[in-house]
Amino acid sequence: MSPAWAVALVGVLLMVSVYLVAVMETIFGLRVSGVRGYGRAWALPMSRAALLLSQRRSVTERPDAQAWALAPALLGGLGAVALTAIPLAAGVEVADVDAGIVLFGAALVQVMVAVFLHGWAANSLFPVLGAFRMAALALSVSIPFSLVVITTALPAESLSVGLIISSQESLWNVVRQPLGLPIYLITGLGFSFWAPLQLPDARDLSGGTSAEVSGAALLVWRVARASILVAVAAMGAAAFLGGYLGPWLPGWLWMAVKTFGLLAILVWSGHRIARPRMETAVKLGWTVLLPLALVDVFVSGALTL
Amino acid sequence: MRDLLARLAVGAPVPVFPVAGGGTREALARLRLRPDVHLVDTPRHAIVLLVLGEFPPGEIAGLAAVHDMIPSPRVTVHWTPGGPRDDVPRSMRVDGDDTALVAALSRVAGEVLSGTRASEPPIRPDVDPVEWRGIGPYGHGGKGMTGGTPFGRPLAERAPDRDGLELDQLSVTVGPWLGALPPGLELGIKLQGDVIQEVEIHPPAVTLERPDGWVRALEVPVPVAELELDRARHHLVWLGEALRVHDLPALGQRTLRLAQGLTPGDRGEVERVLAEVRRTGIYRLALRGLGAVDPSQVGGLGPVARAAGLEDDARLDDPTYQELGFRPVSHRGADAADRWRQRIAEITQSLDLAGRAGDRTAFGDGVVEGPRGRITSDGILPGAVTVDLLPELLTGLEWGDAVAVVWSLDVDPTGVASRSSPEGAAA
C-alpha cells in the first residue's frame, strides 16, 4: 500500500471509529442514567467537538509548551501506528511487517510517555499527579498485557498478526487460551486509561492530566485517547476472535463487527464498574493479572508443544 | 468558520463551572439533570462561570482566580434560588426558576460563542506572584542552589517521607471550588508526591445553609413522613454527588433523578438503583479500609456514628418513632465503605418509615436527628464536627483516597460557618 493511501485509510478508519466510540459512550451514559431517547446521541459528539474548537487553549504559569503541544499528537500517533499492524481483511494490512504484534506492543508501551508528558507539561499539581498515576498504572499492566499478546503467537509460530489470524481458522484463541482475552481487555483499559481505569484523568484529580487543558487541545487529547481504545479493541478482535475470519459476511465486515463488539464491552464496563483506588489497581496488576498471564503462557506453551 | 462552529456548538450541553454558595445543594442536583447543561469539573473546560446561592457579604473567596482560569470566550452568570443578589450588575444576573436559568445559560453561551457578546476580560492582573526578575546571582530570583524564590515560586520544603527518605514537600491550598471536593471546603495541605502529610482546615467560603425543615422541627412537631422523605432525599443527593466524583456520573444522575419528587411508593425503583450501585464493586474497589474513625469521636454524627457501630440516634428517644417500632441500622467497620452501606440502608429505611407514619408528627422539643446527625438548639450543625475529623483522617492518605474519605463523611463546610458566626458575633 502506498504511503499516501495508508495515511488516508488509517486516518479515516480512526475518525469513524472514534466517532462511533463517542456515540456509544453517550448512549450507554444515557441508558445508565435512565434517560430514554437516544436519537440525540448521534449528533452530540459533533456539537461537543465544535464547542471545543470554539474555545481558546488555556495557558498555565510557565508550562512546558513544547511537551504540552506534543503529547496529544504523540498519543494519537501511537494509536494510528498500533492500528497499522492489524490486518483489516485478508491481505489488507497497512504495515505488512513480519513482527506485527511487536510493532503494536512497542506503540502501546509508549502511551505512558505521552500521558506523562501531558501531565508534566502543564506545570500544575493535579495534572502531574495524574502523570505519576499513569506511570504506576502502565507499569502494572504492561507485563501481563505483553504476555497474553505474545501467547497468541505460540499456536501461529509467528509474530505476524496475519499468521496469528490464519492460525485461528480451526479454533479461535479466545477458546484455546481462555485466560487471554479477559486479561487483555482489563490491561487494555489500563493502557487507554479508559473508565474504570481512567486513574490518570480521574475526577478526583479534577480531570488529572487534562485538568488544565481546554479547547482544541482537549479535543485532540480525547480523540487520541479513544484511538488507543480502538487500536486495543481491533487487536483484541484479531488476536483472540479470529479477526476477519468468519462465514457468509465479507472479511472486513467480520473485523468491524468483532472490533465494535469489544469496544461496546469496554465502554459499557466504564459505566458499570467502579474506578479502583490506585493501590487496588496496582495490586490487581502485579498479584492477580501477572500470575494469571504466566499460567496462560505456560499452559498454551505446553499445549503447543 | 466561527459562525459555523457556533451554530454546530448550539446542540451541545453548555459547559458550566459552578461556584455554589449556601442553600444550593438541591438546586445544583436539579441542574445536573438538565440535558442542556453540563456541570464540568474544572474551570478550564467551561464557558460559563455560574455563581449561585448565598455568600457572606463582600468578595467571594477564590472567585477571581476561578474566573480567570476559564479560557476565552467566557461569561459569568449569577443566580440565587431565593432571589437576586443586589451587588451584581444586572447584565450578569438571572432572576427566576431553574428553567429561566437554563434558558439564560444557553443564551449567553450562544452569544459569547458567536461573538455577539464580548468575552469577559480577566479580573486579576497578569503579574508574577512575587518579584523575582533581576534578583540573585543569575537574575532568576534564587540564591544559588537552594533558597530564594526562583522564577517567582518558593522552593518546596523537604521532610522525611513514609519510607524514611528526605523528599520534597509541597504546600498547596485546595478548594474552595475544587470539583473533587464539596463546594466551599478549603484545605491547606502539604503533599509529598500524592501523599498528604499535613491538613489544615481553612475558614469556610460559604454562609450557613439553612436546613429549614430540620431547624423547624426543633421547635414544633413535624410530620414524620415529611422528615423521613427529606432524609432519604438528602442521602440520595449525597450518593449522586459522591458517585460522580468516583467517576460513575451516569449512575449518579440516575440517583439524583430519584431524589426529585421522591415518594414512599418509589421504593422498588430506589432498591433497583441501590443494587446497581453495589454491583459496581465500589465498596471493595474504592472504599474498603479507608478513613476508619474512632467511635468515641463521632457521637452525634448520625450515619457516621451508626456506621461505626454506635446506636446513636435521637429518633430512639422520640415517642412517635418508638410507636413506629424504629430501630436504627448500624454497621461495625467504621470505614468509608461502611458509611456508604449505612446511608444506603437508611434510604430504604426512611422510605419505609415515611410509608408507615401516616400523619404522625415527631420531635419539637429541641433535638432533631438530621441526615448528618443530631441537630440541637445551640446552632452547631453536625457537618461542623465532621469537618474537624478531616485533619486526622486524611493525614497519610494518597490524594484519591483522601477525596473518597471526604465524600464518605458527607462533610458540610457550611456547618462550619454556622459555628464560627456566633463566635464572630461575640468578638
Indicate yes or no: CB of A29 within 8 angstroms of CB of B45: no
Indicate yes or no: CB of A55 within 8 angstroms of CB of B72: yes
**Looking at chain B, which residue has its C-alpha nearest residue A198?**
B247
Domain coordinates in residue numbering, chain A: 3-304
pLDDT at position A117 is 96
B169 beta partners: B157
Indicate yes or no: CB of B44 within 8 angstroms of CB of A279: no
CB A83 within 8 A of CB A94: yes
Calpha distance B383→A293 (Å, rounded) = 47
Using CB atoms within 10 A of its CB, is residue B82 exposed (0-12), middle (13-18) or buried (19+)?
exposed
Which residues of chain A have a CB within 8 Å of the CB of B15? 51
Residues of B numbered 4-43 whose beta carbons fall under 8 angstroms of chain A's beta carbons: which are they? 4-6, 8-12, 15, 35, 41-42
**Cα dist from B35 to A36, B223, B270, whole Å:** 12, 34, 22
- Give B129-167 pLDDT, tens digit per residue: 778 888 888 888 888 767 778 877 777 778 888 777 878
Which residues of chain B have a CB within 8 Å of the CB of A29? 249-250
Average pLDDT in the A239-246 region? 92
pLDDT at position B149 is 80
Gap from A69 CA to chain B (nearest CA, Å):
16
Average pLDDT in the A96-100 region? 83
Calpha distance A173→B246 (Å, rounded) = 35
**Looking at chain A, which residue has its C-alpha nearest residue B72?**
A56
Query: Where on the phi/psi map is residue A152: left (φ > 0), alpha (ψ -120 to 50), or beta?
Result: alpha
Calpha distance A195→B280 (Å, rounded) = 12
* Strand pairing class (B157-160; B166-174): antiparallel
Please give the angle made by the CA atoms of A91, A95 and A96, to the nearest 5 degrees: 50
More confident position, A106 or B144: A106
Looking at this predicted complex, what is its ipTM?
0.95
Buried b (16+ CB within 10 A) or exposed e, B142-174: beeeeebbbebeeeeeeeeeeeeeeeebeeeeb
Calpha distance B172→B158 (Å, rounded) = 14
Which residues of chain A have a CB within 8 Å of the CB of B253? 33-34
**Looking at chain A, which residue has its C-alpha nearest residue B290?**
A277
Residues of A numbered 205-234 whose beta carbons fall under 8 angstroms of chain B's beta carbons: which are they? 205-207, 211-215, 218
**Looking at chain B, which residue has its C-alpha nearest residue A216?**
B45
- Specify the DSSP class assigned to residue B198: E
Indicate the residue of B11, B151, B400 with minimum beta-carbon distance to A204.
B400
Which residues of chain B have a CB within 8 Å of the CB of A196? 247, 285
CA A108, A112, A113, A117 torsion-angle sign:
positive
- Give A48-95 pLDDT, tens digit per residue: 999 999 999 888 888 999 999 999 999 999 999 999 999 988 877 787
Gap from B232 CA to chain A (nearest CA, Å):
19
Averaged over successive runs of 10 residues, the pLDDT of chain B (427 residues) comes to 84 94 88 94 95 82 91 91 66 84 94 92 84 84 77 78 81 91 92 92 74 81 94 96 96 95 94 96 96 92 95 93 94 94 96 94 91 85 86 96 96 64 36
pLDDT at position B212 is 67
- Give A275-289 pLDDT, tens digit per residue: 999 999 999 999 999
Q: Number of A:B CB contacts under 8 A? A: 155
Calpha distance B38→B327 (Å, rounded) = 41
Whole-angstrom distance between the N-terminal and C-terminal Cα of chain A?
36
- With a pLDDT cut of 70, the percent of chain A lying above it is 100
Gap from A166 CA to chain B (nearest CA, Å):
38
Which residues of chain B have a CB within 8 Å of the CB of A198? 247
Indicate yes or no: CB of B180 within 8 angstroms of CB of A32: no
More confident position, B40 or A40: B40
Please give the angle made by the CA atoms of B1, B7 and B9, to the nearest 5 degrees: 100
Which residues of chain A have a CB within 8 Å of the CB of B73? 54-56
Using CB atoms within 10 A of its CB, is residue B86 exposed (0-12), middle (13-18) or buried (19+)?
exposed
pLDDT at position B369 is 94
CB B219 within 8 A of CB B425: no
pLDDT at position B426 is 32
Indicate the residue of A30, A129, A212 with minimum beta-carbon distance to B399.
A129
The full set of domains in chain B, from first to last, is 2-114 (3.40.50.12280), 212-426 (1.10.645.10)
